[in-house]
Structure 1
């Protein structure tokens, strides 16, 4: 990532870079990229992403190759500030997609959604279009057989999309981007996990007070306890342990 791409400095949180950017700065950066000739990648970073990167070298390498890494987790914002990096705010991808869709509609840019269970991405696209009637958008679910992947790539390229959201979950979505980035003509790719479940309305978002208090993770745990139990109940303490090791290491280094 060059300084021309993202002007804000970065903070390394448990081995993962986090750009110190507000939501409006990210929107401006992404929309600028839609006019560029090369494909750029943006990823959201939360505690689960940091934990996975600490144990999966390929995933970590793929993260380092992203052009923009924003704080999609309140714990990452707190961690970055503790480490001396002034990350201004959490930028949830569930929030980010709406201003991107709004500006895309105004500028005639097209969005492509790929991932999720059958029908979910299509419902998400329909809701985004309801909010922005001029929005150009297409969607495909994530259940594409490997022998039809070439056709999917051709469909994405043929759609003329400017922004591609890939919602396959980590580490699959990062691996998919790494494998196909050079084959895609879309200028911007954002990995987005289970975003389409929330945008479609299949999952109800947490109350505003929980979001503002940094407790959205608890709401998600309540909705999907079996799938997210280990991620939060074991993952959060693991993240804090790794963060504490980083803080101690930095303090020892500064004391020498």
Structure 2
């Protein structure tokens, strides 16, 4: 897996299939793996959030999730084969865990959403072992949650909490979690539980998934996406100016 660096952010150039295979091999070898996906918003926030930047840099696998980052990389001469969407990778890793008998723990979202997610994925993957689950409102006693995860016997942990909380929580407790693999999955549990609808495939491929989120939650999302998208465009423009013409596409 080739690692590059764009906008002071390390990224791994890989397909979803390659990522699942690598995770499987590392988990079966009992090699701890801290995973993260990066998108436009995360790259922008890393520019001024040193704690988030450190948490991302500590990861063993850093997938590119977000067509804006994919397009920017290609513009700057880096061949990125595809976007590795966190929600798709979550499904693929659950299928792998079910096949290999690897227990999972689900952490995050509201009590109702995480319970619904646990029930749905257990039905979707009949051999999946859900070792435990817990909602994402536990900040008054993080240590107790870490102990619960450790005691569950889970091998894979999925954390559905907003950024930068999830990245920093994972990095802060990585040595005490007792799992072999941990991944932040953002709002994935909301999608699985049916609380939030995912954009149609054509919008995902066109890089318009963010617009679909804005349409669903305009009051909460429009300012966030407008700000981060404009800031990212500025980063790309500066990078293009610094890159020799022969390297850009």
Q: Paired residue for 2:163?
A: 170
Residues 114, 142 of structure 1: 8 Å contact kept: yes
* Distance across 2 between alignment mates of 1:34 and 1:119: 29
Residues 110, 163 of structure 1: 8 Å contact kept: yes
1:214-252 Cα offsets, whole Å, 9 max, x none, are: 211111111111222122112111101011112222339
Q: Paired residue for 1:143?
A: 137
Q: Which runs of 4+ in 1 moved over 3 A?
A: none
TM-score by structure 2 length? 0.93
Q: Paired residue for 2:22?
A: 29
- Which of 125, 128, 136 is the aligned partner of 2:121? 128
Residues 39, 185 of structure 1: 8 Å contact kept: no
**Consecutive unaligned residues in structure 1, runs of 5 or more:** 1-7
* Distance across 1 between alignment mates of 2:188 and 2:48: 24
- Which of 66, 75, 86 is the aligned partner of 1:82? 75
Q: How far 1:170 moved relative to its partner?
A: 0.9
* The 10-residue stretch of structure 1 (205-214 or 128-137) with the greater mean CA deviation from structure 2: 205-214
Residues 11, 80 of structure 1: 8 Å contact kept: no
* Distance across 1 between alignment mates of 2:36 and 2:168: 13
* Distance across 2 between alignment mates of 1:238 and 1:145: 31
Residues 109, 136 of structure 1: 8 Å contact kept: yes
* The 10-residue stretch of structure 1 (22-31 or 10-19) with the greater mean CA deviation from structure 2: 10-19
The size of the alignment, in residue pairs, is 246
Other structure's SS at 1:112 match: strand
Q: Paired residue for 1:11?
A: 4
Q: Paired residue for 1:187?
A: 180
- Which of 42, 50, 64 is the aligned partner of 1:71? 64
* Distance across 2 between alignment mates of 1:153 and 1:38: 19
- Which of 207, 213, 218 is the aligned partner of 1:214? 207
Other structure's SS at 2:74 match: helix
**Consecutive unaligned residues in structure 2, runs of 5 or more:** none
Q: Paired residue for 1:5?
A: none
* Distance across 2 between alignment mates of 1:225 and 1:15: 30
TM-score by structure 1 length? 0.91
